[in-house]
Structure 1
């Protein structure tokens, strides 16, 4: 049994060498104004956008655990254009990373951001619903992923406008075969055999299927975004519902 575990770990480590943090939107379009009111720009102390996220309660944003590497300090909600000052900017009180997370590519890439105050829900800012644990995603089911940032591999200038693109769910076994193994508790969608998906600089955004936040942008292949060689990989939110619910109700998490 230990031998099998070592083999699986080596497969995952091999994958880590060719992956890159996920993020921005390739071959997408500008999101219609007020269409994705749950989207959050996770920013550092200099006001630089470092990751995406999504609002699940008035004082909680979900993002990717590896986004903590950029030391985010606050979130911005309520505006698709980050250069427009008409938004809510709220500091992060606490960052709760899943206890099993080690590094991107090894799984459990999920983090909850507790805000210092509750967001004002209005016509520009709303929460998004999480999926029930029993929901089943179909192969080729069309979902959406959105984010801010560069829109092609060799472009270092991030986009000011929120971009969105349709991506199709990829069979888990196909995903495993293409990557040579993937962590448990992930969803694959976009990238493989398409020119659409996410790229670097805005991990943590949601994969939205039928209006539910089912995934969290985690990683893709080697920073190649224009014509991705492997499927894009997301943390499967359905597998962390108990942890999320416990964390948002457990005040001891914020001590």
Structure 2
């Protein structure tokens, strides 16, 4: 990563949300998690991969999350599970978003009732250029408005990694680029840690974009490539089972 790129990353948003999307159909994405602080404020997104673990972004730990909310698309609706975070597993090589490895696995205490999980990709996955995927989350839909309470989703197209790296003048390893470039759709403030969904799989984790506003087109949106962290995730999940 070039020095110029690292300077650019310092201006990247650390919290993101959905731009020019629409409300997600009720109960269509029960695996979505609102990662919240001890004041009950939504600080990041996440997604449930087992009944014990939620994936989010490592930089979301800066907001001191204490629990997750699962089971309802509308955060104002009391019909959801508020689950305490038992342990935060931040990737050991994470330092900041500009250097990559922006992934965190939240171990939660036992759920009161089963909630839908989302499947992860295999250890190797090939995304086609211009393949249409989705990103979902709660929060701002414009720069100067409050976060929304209802889950929103938007279609985004996968961007050629070489083109993306040239536009950014360098990128960390193990990332996916989708949305934000040559389109008015992407993420912005309020939904770091949420999933990039392709063919029914959670293939990426919302990591960072460029401007401190939600005006696209701009530079491509950047996601952590989950397929590159399969072994890391499996190791943590399996160690949890051995401890039982």
TM-score normalised by the shorter chain: which range applies?
over 0.9
Q: Distance in 2 between matches of 1:253 and 1:106?
A: 32
Residue of 82, 85, 102 corresponding to 1:109: 102
How far does residue 208 in structure 1 lie from its aligned partner after superposition?
A: 0.3
8 Å contact from structure 1 (residues 41, 51) kept in 2: yes
Residue of 123, 128, 131 corresponding to 2:118: 128
The answer for the alignment partner of 2:201 in structure 1 is 212
Q: Distance in 2 between matches of 1:179 and 1:47?
A: 35
The answer for the alignment partner of 1:149 in structure 2 is 139
1:16–1:253 distance in 2 versus 1, CA, 3 Å? farther
8 Å contact from structure 1 (residues 247, 253) kept in 2: no
8 Å contact from structure 1 (residues 79, 86) kept in 2: yes
Aligned partner of residue 51 in structure 1, secondary structure: strand
Aligned partner of residue 44 in structure 2, secondary structure: strand
**How many residue pairs get matched?**
243
8 Å contact from structure 1 (residues 63, 216) kept in 2: yes
Q: Distance in 2 between matches of 1:179 and 1:192?
A: 11
Which runs of 5 or more structure 1 residues have no equivalent in the other structure?
1-7
Aligned partner of residue 217 in structure 1, secondary structure: strand
How far does residue 23 in structure 1 lie from its aligned partner after superposition?
A: 1.6
1:140–1:22 distance in 2 versus 1, CA, 3 Å? farther
Residue of 91, 94, 97 corresponding to 2:84: 91
Moved over 6 A (4+): none
Q: Spell out, residue by residue over 1:144-189, the C-alpha distance to the aligned partner (whole angstroms, 9 max, x if none).
A: 000000101222x110100000000000011101111111000000
How far does residue 194 in structure 1 lie from its aligned partner after superposition?
A: 0.7
Q: Distance in 2 between matches of 1:210 and 1:119?
A: 29
The answer for the alignment partner of 1:25 in structure 2 is 18
How far does residue 201 in structure 1 lie from its aligned partner after superposition?
A: 1.8
Residue of 167, 170, 176 corresponding to 1:178: 167
TM-score by length of 2: 0.95
How far does residue 142 in structure 1 lie from its aligned partner after superposition?
A: 0.2
TM-score by length of 1: 0.91
Which runs of 5 or more structure 2 residues have no equivalent in the other structure?
none
